[in-house]
Structure 1
Amino acid sequence: MKIFLQFLGIILFVSCIDEKEVPTAVIEVDQKVIGKHIERLASDEFLGRKPFTVGETLAVNYLKDEFEKLGLSPGNGDSYFQDVPMVEITGTPSEHMIISGRNTEIKLDYLKDFVATTNKPVTDVGLEKSELVFAGYGVVAPEYDWNDYEGIDWKGKTAVVLINDPGFKSGDSTLFKGNEMTYYGRWTYKYEEAARQGAAGLIIIHDTEPASYGWNVIESGWTGARLTIESDLPLLEVESWISGESAQQIFDASAMKGQDYKSLSRNKDFKPTPLDLNVSVSVENNIKKDVSKNVVAMITGSEKKDEVIIYSAHWDHLGVGKAIDGDSIYNGAIDNASGTAGLLAIAEAFKKGETTKRSILFIALTGEEQGLLGSAFYAENPIFDPKKSVANINMDALASPGKMKDLTITGFGHSEMDEYAKEEALKQDRYIIPDPEAEKGYFFRSDHFNFAKIGIPALYASGTYEGFDKSIEEVKKLNTYYNINNYHQVSDEYNSETTNLSGVKLDLQLFYAIGLKLANDNYFPKWYDRSEFKAARE
């Protein structure tokens, strides 16, 4: 019934929109322009577009020059660049994490049982017999009347929390959002919240199903050099994961021995519980600081210059790395030369039309592959007032085997951007569907997420499910092949003879049409009541 009412609301909303006239003609997004820019950005010349390399210099200057050729103005005062100060931290954790107390000592092995790191740009950090407190899912969500940190002075203490959020596999669709992961389920949120609460450290318990990846991903993703942005936000001394087996060892030795800590954590009345154990672990850091760049360009509105529609895509990829069959350049054609080319193609379409009432901002973001860093920096240092930023349309990894019947919206149900997408999809004889794997939290894994965090309604969508001339099964097989063989591999390259861009063009045409409508309207799309981002807008 809820789904029916939501779609009924969409239909009624669309009917109201259709009564308005759009004063600016719709221009065709040029497919040849899309291909030209993908081919150039994904060429070996750009060396995989990694921040702090020659590849970055080539990529950001190329984008700046192309925006300038189109006649776009600088988007950051008199500059096409927004400097993004970053810190590269290469941490070496202690060989063991020691859990002590209650006449016991548990020695966890690095990588096998735990990983540990920090975003603090200091040479030595650590926890020395820091008191362990189990904090359920580590969630503070006023809209759900939920607070896993309540009643504890967290100074000097280390929280132990579960991954995902209370709704996952609860069998209760009204508990948070049921199986659909909310923002509160992401590991990034959990570290941020623990720091806000004043904790010294946080340990996340790994579990493959609610995390949506195995321990091997933790091992590979939490070792070596990591980039972060310089920030005034509170930071933990140590951010850590432990394996599920290690967690069970700890609980068996703790004051909660014999209790079903997972079930207890789903209860709204749960309160953080001291484990009567301590943790000791340290990290030695090698620190390097540098500055990367977001590229920002704009078309100034004729009437409401300070109200902006933001198009975003990340320009960066993985650079030069491990050679495979003699090829060491990770070109990132789909991820994300495609979205970056989309910025330029949509900008060109807008320049061919009449000037819109509101301004249009195009931002090519750095550091997405390192943790959405360019968009995180913009969110902390916005060039335009977030309350006057009408919406964000984000483009990441646009690829399809041809024109698609569907428009899959990642984060469907968060905001009225769904309705705008629905209206334009119908004009293309397409249908919209929610992300079929919403439990994996893909909404929180691309740059639109950081715009959402500061209250800007965001759309992240593309055709990924069913083609006009390819079945659901055929499309699924092709998507699976890409994820296994090309995603983050040297094989993510562009071939003008074999790459079909008709589906990419269809998506970009839809994104352009949505922006065009918003840019000539007075309305600000709203977050739905059930979205965790509504409060930030208000």
Structure 2
Amino acid sequence: MLTITKNALALTLSVALGATFSSSVYANNTSLEAITKDITHLASDDLKGRASFSPEIDQAADYIAKRFKEIGLVPMKGEHSFKQSFDITTIRPASLEVTLNGKLIAADQLGIASTIKAIKWSDLDDFTLHSVSKKDNMREVIRGINQQGGKHVVLINPAHKKLFAGYSGYFARGLKKLSLDHQGAIVMILTEESTIDTINVAAKTTIEKQTLTNVVGVLPGNKLKDDVVLYSAHYDHLGITPTENGEDSIYNGADDDASGTTAIINLAQYFANKGSNARTVIFSAFTAEEIGGFGSRYFSQQLNPDDVIAMINIEMIGKPSKFGPGNVWMTGMERSSLGEELNKALASKDFKIYKDPYPKQNLFYRSDNATLARLGVPAHSFSSTQLDKDQHYHKVTDDLASLDLNSMHKVIENLSIATQGLIDGKITPTRVDINKVKSLGKIY
């Protein structure tokens, strides 16, 4: 567990070691002391891992809102405060009973993902039937159904027993939805049968609403005030895991993503102090990225995405990248001209924004940028983490002591330089082709 003494020591050492170094190398657009103070608080044990729906994530939201107010930002249009609250719905299976071809199916051979309150199917016209044989790709079939939406029964050969168990277990934990606009269900049956003569499906779900909160601050623009540049990061993490031996049980989420949240706060401070932004700049700390990206989904519905010139989503910048301290890589560089434009501003600084070195991880779709990219925004995530070497990702050891705050400061400095043209209105990157971006599923 990261103790208060350890936090204080890390703060003292980081400031002492970094202050003189930054004065000669950094642009000094941001303060290492302020950066260290912000991340020390956000990654502290007091916030208990900032899990969605916890009291501690509300405390984190309070801190970010306070910082936005101190900086001089204003709430987003239509909001009375920096807190942008909204509800999501959790739908959990309450009961499921299936009789197939005259035989009652055992509970452990059934699985359901449903956004429908109650199901009573007995006619083949009530649903679309699918059969997954031994040789079929079950994962592709289920994904295709999810993209399609609607009502489905899937007969799955026992050869897929292990994958079936994975899906049914995942569905049993419940589905979280921003809205229930798309009503649909997938009923999975593990069986040797591949056809249906008769069937009866009876199912019920429980529905619960819970509140989540983004924290959004705006720096109004001048000459190009209708254009928006968005800086974002998610401030939620994984909370606490129970232990029996008293060892560290808090997922502090220092790198993921207190580092990114700290970056947007301090970039807001820099651009507000400068006071010369032609475009409107929005700084958004998203909630619920770890449980499905609901914060960015809700946020994207509160403005016209055509007005967003670019989204700089900052995700895990607390350690040096494989390209060296201060350098970052961005996801989906080939999808817009943003990376190329930003690198022009860094050309004389001996730093660079690199193409995502981990393409097999599908990182473009694994953070909040994907939501805005699906709407055509040049929306990309910027990171320095070395995914092939990082031993702390989603571990309780992702605490302040695992970070290199000098490197993190350098990343923030370089992003302030690289993105200045966006703020001034001198850079307008090409849009993302929405036809080449995978859409979200409709059922789960």
TM-score by length of 2: 0.77
Partners of 2:103 and 2:233 in 1: how far apart?
48
- Aligned partner of 2:314 in structure 1 is 395
Cα shift at 1:421: 3.8
Partners of 1:163 and 1:393 in 2: how far apart?
36
Is residue 46 from structure 1 mapped to residue 43 from structure 2 by the alignment?
A: no
Partners of 1:202 and 1:409 in 2: how far apart?
40
SS where residue 413 of structure 1 aligns? helix
- Alignment counterpart, residue 518 of structure 1, candidates 404, 422, 439: 422
Is residue 234 from structure 1 mapped to residue 182 from structure 2 by the alignment?
A: yes
Cα shift at 1:463: 2.6
SS where residue 259 of structure 2 aligns? helix
Partners of 1:334 and 1:504 in 2: how far apart?
10
Partners of 2:127 and 2:341 in 1: how far apart?
48
Q: 2:341, 2:427 within 8 Å by CA — same for their partners in 1? A: no
Q: 2:346, 2:418 within 8 Å by CA — same for their partners in 1? A: no
Partners of 2:429 and 2:276 in 1: how far apart?
21
Change (3 A) 1:358 1:157: same
Cα shift at 1:81: 1.9
Cα shift at 1:451: 0.8
- Aligned partner of 1:37 in structure 2 is 38
Structure 1: which amino acid aligns with 2:31? D
Partners of 1:65 and 1:334 in 2: how far apart?
22
Structure 1: which amino acid aligns with 2:290? E
- Aligned partner of 1:434 in structure 2 is 355
Is residue 194 from structure 1 mapped to residue 152 from structure 2 by the alignment?
A: no
- Aligned partner of 1:407 in structure 2 is 328
CA deviations over 1:288-318 (Å, ceiling 9, x no partner): 2122211110111111222110111111122
Most deviating of 85-94 and 34-43:
85-94
Cα shift at 1:403: 8.1
Partners of 1:37 and 1:64 in 2: how far apart?
12
Cα shift at 1:337: 1.4
- Aligned partner of 1:82 in structure 2 is 84
Structure 2: which amino acid aligns with 1:363? S
Q: 1:415, 1:531 within 8 Å by CA — same for their partners in 2? A: no
Cα shift at 1:376: 1.2
Q: 1:226, 1:370 within 8 Å by CA — same for their partners in 2? A: no
Q: 2:113, 2:186 within 8 Å by CA — same for their partners in 1? A: yes
Partners of 2:179 and 2:222 in 1: how far apart?
36
SS where residue 322 of structure 1 aligns? coil
- Aligned partner of 1:359 in structure 2 is 280
SS where residue 318 of structure 2 aligns? coil
- Aligned partner of 2:400 in structure 1 is 494
What pairs up with 1:244-263 in 2 under 5 angstroms?
Answer: 253=194
Q: 1:463, 1:503 within 8 Å by CA — same for their partners in 2? A: no
Partners of 1:455 and 1:319 in 2: how far apart?
33
Over aligned residue pairs, what C-alpha RMSD do you find? 3.7
- Alignment counterpart, residue 287 of structure 1, candidates 207, 210, 216: 207
Change (3 A) 1:354 1:332: same
- Aligned partner of 1:156 in structure 2 is 127
CA deviations over 1:134-154 (Å, ceiling 9, x no partner): xxxxxxxxxxxxxxxxxxxxx
Partners of 2:100 and 2:49 in 1: how far apart?
42
Cα shift at 1:457: 1.1
SS where residue 422 of structure 2 aligns? helix
- Alignment counterpart, residue 339 of structure 1, candidates 249, 260, 263: 260
Q: 1:403, 1:503 within 8 Å by CA — same for their partners in 2? A: no
Q: State how many pairs are aligned.
A: 401
Partners of 1:421 and 1:114 in 2: how far apart?
51
Q: 2:309, 2:429 within 8 Å by CA — same for their partners in 1? A: yes
Cα shift at 1:352: 2.5
Cα shift at 1:30: 2.6
Structure 2: which amino acid aligns with 1:116? I
Q: 2:321, 2:384 within 8 Å by CA — same for their partners in 1? A: no
Q: 2:233, 2:261 within 8 Å by CA — same for their partners in 1? A: yes
Most deviating of 500-509 and 218-227:
218-227
What pairs up with 1:119-130 in 2 under 5 angstroms?
Answer: 119-120=115-116, 122=117, 124-125=118-119, 128=122, 130=124
Unpaired runs of at least 5, structure 2 = 1-26, 440-444
Partners of 1:522 and 1:159 in 2: how far apart?
53
Partners of 2:87 and 2:233 in 1: how far apart?
19
Partners of 1:358 and 1:204 in 2: how far apart?
54
Is residue 527 from structure 1 mapped to residue 437 from structure 2 by the alignment?
A: no
CA deviations over 1:297-354 (Å, ceiling 9, x no partner): 0111111222110111111122234236424433222222111111111111212223
SS where residue 57 of structure 2 aligns? helix
SS where residue 290 of structure 2 aligns? helix
Structure 1: which amino acid aligns with 2:151? A
Most deviating of 412-421 and 292-301:
412-421
- Aligned partner of 1:118 in structure 2 is 114
Partners of 2:340 and 2:426 in 1: how far apart?
16
CA deviations over 1:438-480 (Å, ceiling 9, x no partner): 3442211111111111221112122345xxxxxxxxx843x2x
SS where residue 88 of structure 1 aligns? strand
Q: 2:346, 2:417 within 8 Å by CA — same for their partners in 1? A: no
SS where residue 436 of structure 2 aligns? coil
Unpaired runs of at least 5, structure 1 = 1-25, 132-154, 166-184, 207-212, 255-275, 466-474
CA deviations over 1:124-169 (Å, ceiling 9, x no partner): 34655656xxxxxxxxxxxxxxxxxxxxxxx73256795788xxxx
Structure 1: which amino acid aligns with 2:173? G
